């Protein structure tokens, strides 16, 4: 199987801070890859480099066999790179439907959106949303304002929004942060569904080790912008460099 994402020798400095140093790894379709490391290790920076929010100093990023290193973020998103953020990004004072269609409009739902203005049902959008919501344990009225949602619901819906655009790969930054156990279970179920049912590559940053260890097939560990270990959950959790990195720094984040 060919990688869906290839990160090749990527380096990035912010002033004197080395956020990424010669980082190389691949993301395969239909599985969940973990990207872990102490606070400030450079995880979010890597996601921003992959989806084009920040430029790299050197190295390259491929989506399938296409070199996307110089493409703007919106083009990468249209090409199939989905993203969620450490802090959910929603338009306040807009209804849930408008927010869920952000990004998806650009991809697949533009016609559907126009139709909905004329009172016709966009059943494809609604069916997909319903199928993703199925196991969520909460129902939403998408005509409501986003301010009616809890933090947990926002985090869950942000993943759904990325999936509604039919991505090839999604970059998910700390989806379980701030969630209780029940909410975390639902997020885990959704990510499993994305990878193992829909065949979407998932790159997951997550501090909850039980989550990472249980759903990732492969884990890349970074510290001070460098990869210090890579392998199965068992391999990285018994790696001495990894243990030292986690014990040697404040990892309360």
Residue 45 interacts, among ligand ADP, Mg ion, none and using kind-specific CB cut-offs from 5 to 8 Å, with ligand ADP
Give the Cα separation of 182 and 3 in Å (integer): 32
Q: How far is the CB of 173 from Mg ion (least distance, A)?
A: 6
Q: In angstroms, what is the minimal distance from the CB of 243 to Mg ion?
A: 21
- Ranges within 27-86 binding Mg ion (CB under 5 A): 44
Q: In angstroms, rounded to a whole number, what is the distance separating the alpha carbons of residues 144 and 124?
A: 20
Strands 58-63 and 169-173, sheet pairing: unpaired
Residues whose CB is less than 8 angstroms from the CB of residue 150 and which lie 6 or more positions away in sequence, other chains included: none
The answer to whether residues 181 and 152 touch, using CB atoms and an 8 Å cutoff, is no
| Residue 55 interacting with ligand ADP (CB under 6 A) | no
Closest CB to ligand ADP among 109 and 155? 155
172, 204 contact by CB (below 8 A)? yes
Question: Could you give the string, one character per residue 153-192, with x where binding to ligand ADP holds by CB under 6 A and - elsewhere?
Answer: ----------------------------------------
Helix %, strand %, coil % for the chain, to 5? 40, 25, 35
Member of 27, 32, 41, 96 binding ligand ADP (CB under 6 A): 41
Q: Which does 167 bind (CB under 5 to 8 A by kind): Mg ion, ligand ADP, none?
A: none
Residues with Cβ within 8 Å of residue 192, at least 6 apart in sequence: 32, 215
DSSP code string of 113-135: HHHHHTT---HHHHHHHHHHHTT
State which residue has the least CB distance to Mg ion: 44
Cβ atoms of residues 82 and 163 within 8 Å? yes
> Could you say which of 6, 45, 77, 153 contacts ligand ADP (CB under 6 A)?
45
Residue with tokens 């270990």: 229
User: Minimum distance between the CB of residue 42 and Mg ion, rounded to whole angstroms?
Assistant: 8
Shortest spacing between CB 209 and ligand ADP, in angstroms: 15
Report the residue number, 44 or 99, with the smaller CB distance to Mg ion.
Answer: 44
- Does residue 82 belong to the site contacting ligand ADP (CB under 6 A)? no
Rounded Cα gap, residues 159 and 206, in angstroms: 14
Residue span binding ligand ADP (CB under 6 A) among the ranges 12-20, 163-171, 176-184, 196-204: 12-20
The residues that touch Mg ion, with contacts defined as CB under 5 A, are 44
The residues that touch ligand ADP, with contacts defined as CB under 6 A, are 14, 17, 19, 37, 39-45
């Amino acid at each position: 199987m060919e990688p869906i994402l290839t990160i090749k020798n990527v380096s990035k400095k912010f002033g004197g801070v080395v956020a990424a140093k010669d980082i190389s790894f691949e993301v395969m379709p239909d599985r969940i890859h973990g990207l872990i490391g102490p606070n400030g290790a450079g995880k979010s920076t890597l996601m921003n480099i992959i989806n084009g929010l920040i430029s790299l100093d050197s190295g390259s990023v491929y989506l399938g066999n296409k070199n996307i290193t110089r493409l703007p973020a919106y083009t990468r998103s249209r090409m199939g790179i989905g993203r969620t953020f450490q802090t959910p990004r929603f338009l306040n004072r807009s209804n849930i439907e408008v927010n869920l269609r952000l990004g998806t409009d650009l991809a697949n739902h533009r016609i559907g959106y126009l139709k909905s203005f004329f009172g016709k049902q966009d059943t494809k959008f609604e069916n997909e949303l319903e199928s993703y919501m199925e196991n969520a344990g909460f129902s939403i009225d998408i005509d409501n304002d986003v301010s009616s949602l809890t933090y947990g619901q926002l985090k869950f819906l942000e993943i759904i929004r990325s999936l509604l655009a039919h991505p090839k790969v999604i970059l998910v930054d700390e989806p379980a942060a701030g969630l209780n156990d029940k909410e975390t279970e639902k997020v885990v179920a959704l990510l499993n569904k994305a990878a193992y049912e829909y065949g979407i590559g998932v790159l997951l940053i997550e501090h909850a080790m039980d989550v990472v260890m249980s759903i990732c097939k492969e884990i890349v560990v970074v510290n001070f912008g460098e990869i210090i270990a890579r392998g199965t959950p068992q391999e990285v959790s018994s790696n001495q460099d990894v243990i030292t990195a986690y014990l040697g720094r404040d990892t309360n984040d």
